[in-house]
Structure 1
Amino acid sequence: MQTRLQQLETFAQQQNLDAVLVTSTANVFYLTGFYCDPKERFLGLLLFSDGRKPMIICPNMEMNLARAAGWAHDINGYDDTENPFDKFPTLTSLAIEEEHVTVARLRKLTNTHRNIETTSIDNELLGMRLQKNEEEIELLQKAAHYADRAVELGVAALKEGVTELEIIQAIESGLKQEGISKMSFDPVVLFGKNAADPHGSPGTTPLKRGDAVLMDLGVYYEGYASDITRTVFFGEPSKEHQEVYDTVLAANVAGINACVVDAPIQDTDDAARSLITQAGYGEYFTHRLGHGLGIEVHEEPSMHGKNSQLLQEGMALTVEPGIYLLEDIGVRIEDDIIVTNNGPLVLTQYPKNLQIV
């Protein structure tokens, strides 16, 4: 953590700034180990260019948790009747998370500190988080293990007449019994034609023979996220549905194999998309190949067909091609991977061969 803090302090010095202000829950956690979701309240980490010790500003009710997380520097707490920006020292220049700070909060900051000028810290923070170290990769592997387990729990609960929401309940209940308290996003379980909407909403649709079952879910493990999608069949699939599945699986494998050091991201998207297009389903693959993964379930880089950014060792990514035939079927297969000098390391291990329940 100390190295990360020093990197931002050096950035402030190089940019002739008084300080850097980090306000998003994810980035405060990344830099301090303190996870805090303050809801509508303000949370901030101030890092200074002049050698002063860094400071957390947080609600009084969170101060004990910050200490328990191992934060050894200053904490300025405030109560609900106070303006948190009054807790700041006098500053004239400050880098902020422009993607996170709201207009209202920025106005409050500049009204409290009228001579302050702001610039962005976003690109610096994104660059720091792009490549994961060994400890982060181990946590991502653990999170992926529990994503695999979540799919196992979901498949085991499939039976005729069960609803999408009941499968989600079985998954979440089973994971809680194994010590997982938080999903990385609201799980998606969709039956039959419902899965033709990539981000469909689970409901009370009953499972029937011949349905495809799409499960998209993930967990947080010690602050790091996983994200897996598997599609299985409840009963024998039709010939066309099997063809759709085989095409998506081939695209998933091709996309993963293309994720090598120095490959342009657009080439990885093309590796998967071209197979789907050649099979005649190009118009039904309606989203990017994937996204970065880490403290947040969606991080940089964005794995789309116009991103010329080069992959680097330690990047954590998802590869998730899909085909969606409206009013018929949706199939998506998603894996979490790490880019390494020895090729892609696949973290999610739940089987991908066509599975009939």
Structure 2
Amino acid sequence: MSAPVYKSFEQSLAEFDNIAAAVAPISVEELQSRIAKLQGLMRETDVKAVYLDTSTSLTYFTGMTLGASERLHGAIIPSTGAPIYISPAFEEPKTVTLVRIEGEIATWEEHEDPALLVANLICGLPAEGQVLAFDPATPFMFSSPITAHIGARLKIIGASDLIAACRQIKSATEIAIIQTAMTASLRVHKAVWEGLYEGVSTTEVTDFIAAAHQKLGMRHVFAAAQFGEATAYPHGVPYAQTLNKGDMVLIDLGAHIHRYCSDITRTYVFGEATERQRELWNMEKKAHRAAFEAAQLGSPCEDVDAAARKVLTDAGYGPDYQVPGLPHRTGHGLGMDLHENPFIVRGNKTRLQPGMVFSDEPMLCVYGECGVRLEDIIYMSEEGPVFFTEPAHSIDRPFG
């Protein structure tokens, strides 16, 4: 139902303060421990070096954040020793200011081949190993010439497994940053609910979400607002909608603090819900709860997906990915990327461990009618699953 008390978007914005400024970034000591863990895994698997491009993995391990470019810019992590940063020569002064973990900066001039520089640096490392592992975010335009220059000197593989083994287990500091981001984004969600009125457009809603995240000191990542039939489609429709009484409303949003993301979805009705809307919402709530209860330490990720899907198939939806039903996986990992390991999907036998963070969002889609998605993020504590934010109680009480 609609919020019991209307509060305009402008009123809510005026009440928001910068909460992100008080959040300390990841310390140098923690960055060093991440590199040490990666290097230990590298030595176990005969990897001489990992090449990190301008990705969140570069930030995760070194604290350096760079924008993607047609110019090669990144870092080499050897199996022993300090990182080597790669930079266009004219960017070296800026790169120096971004270094948090000490290491050599190797530069290349505009007429030179940076791929040859990287290949020779890696092959010349005193570190042990016979393998080069590429950050999966490395563009082909960089990995291909580096591979060609290395030739038969090293075996080439992807670094996905090495990186995931580090990144998918969050530290207490990471959990705390994500908690701050999630708490703030839930406030934005509630402000959307309180500020809806008949005739508001989805564009006005998403503009408010972006402004609210910025007022809170966060880096806005995305906002999705869907009304009525458009709620049936997981990623919405390519046109704006206008809110009418009785519409199902789906709001999905996210922002980050120090690159750590929030991601929350709420679905409710503007006005009084029909019996059909309540039936669909309650079924989604059951699937959402089943996923949470299946998320036990030591259980495979795929069991969480299976538990949510069983609730829906037992009720006559699906089966599998068919609609009406759940057309996608139940969840995704969350951290410095909005979607990262571990993925909550059939076939993923990765066992849940303390420190893993992932979404619980088994959406119920009825194409041509409406859809319901309740998305909350779970972290695995030493005792089991914990929600960062309080889940919706009912279609009438989406925020407690």
Does the TM-score normalized on the shorter chain lie above 0.5?
A: yes
Query: Is 1:23–1:44's contact at 8 Å kept on the other side of the alignment?
Result: yes
Match of 1:180 among 207, 218, 221: 218
User: Which residue of 2 is the match for residue 194 of structure 1?
Assistant: 230
Match of residue 160 from structure 1: 198
In the alignment, is residue 55 of structure 1 matched against residue 55 of structure 2? no
Q: How far apart are residue 343 of structure 1 and its match?
A: 2.2
1:146 is matched with: 184
Structure 2 residue identity aligned to 1:221: I
Quick check: 88-97 or 233-242, which moved more? Answer: 88-97
Aligned mate of 1:300, from 341, 348, 353: 341
Counterparts of 1:45-124 in structure 2 under 5 Å?
A: 45-49=75-79, 51-59=80-88, 60-61=90-91, 64=94, 67-68=97-98, 70-78=100-108, 80-88=110-118, 89-92=120-123, 93-97=130-134, 99-114=136-151, 116-117=153-154, 118-124=156-162
Moved more, 122-131 or 90-99: 90-99
Cα distance in 1 for partners of 2:215, 2:174 equals 25
CA contact (8 A) 1:258 1:271 kept: yes
When structure 1 is superposed on structure 2, of 272-281 and 203-212 the one drifting more is 272-281
Question: In angstroms, what is the RMSD of aligned CA positions?
Answer: 2.4
Aligned residues: 354
Could you say which residue in structure 2 is the equivalent of 1:205?
241
> In 2, distance between residues paired with 1:80 and 1:86?
13
Give a deviation string over 1:218-249, Cα, whole Å, max 9, x none.
11111111211100211112111110001101
Contact 1:190 1:202 in 2 (8 A): no
TM-score (norm 2): 0.81
Structure 2 counterpart of 1:84, which letter? P
Please tell me whether the aligned partners of residues 266 and 304 of structure 1 are also in contact (alpha carbons under 8 angstroms).
yes
When normalised by structure 1's length, the TM-score is 0.90
Of the candidates 133, 136, 150, which is equivalent to residue 171 of structure 2?
133
CA contact (8 A) 2:223 2:251 kept: yes
Question: How far 1:342 sits from its partner (Å)?
Answer: 1.7
Report the 3-state secondary structure (helix = DSSP H, G, I; strand = E; otherwise coil) of the residue aligned with 1:204: coil
8 Å CA contact retained: 1:264, 1:308: yes
Structure 1 range deviating more: 92-101 or 138-147? 92-101
- Three-state SS of the structure 2 residue aligned to 1:124 is helix
CA offset digits 1:94-113 (Å, max 9, x no partner)? 52326333433233214444
Aligned-pair CA distance for 1:48 = 2.3
Specify the code of the residue in structure 1 equivalent to 2:334: L
Unpaired runs of 5+ in structure 1? none
Q: How does 1:278-289 map to 2 (within 5 A)?
A: 278-282=314-318, 283=323, 284-289=325-330
Q: CA deviation at 1:34?
A: 1.3
Shift of 1:353: 2.1
Kindly indicate whether residue 303 of structure 2 is the aligned counterpart of residue 267 of structure 1: yes
Find the counterpart in structure 1 of residue 282 from structure 2: 246
In structure 2, stretches of 5+ residues that fail to align are 1-30, 124-129
User: Letter of the aligned partner of 2:292 in structure 1?
Assistant: I
Percentage of pairs with the same residue: 28
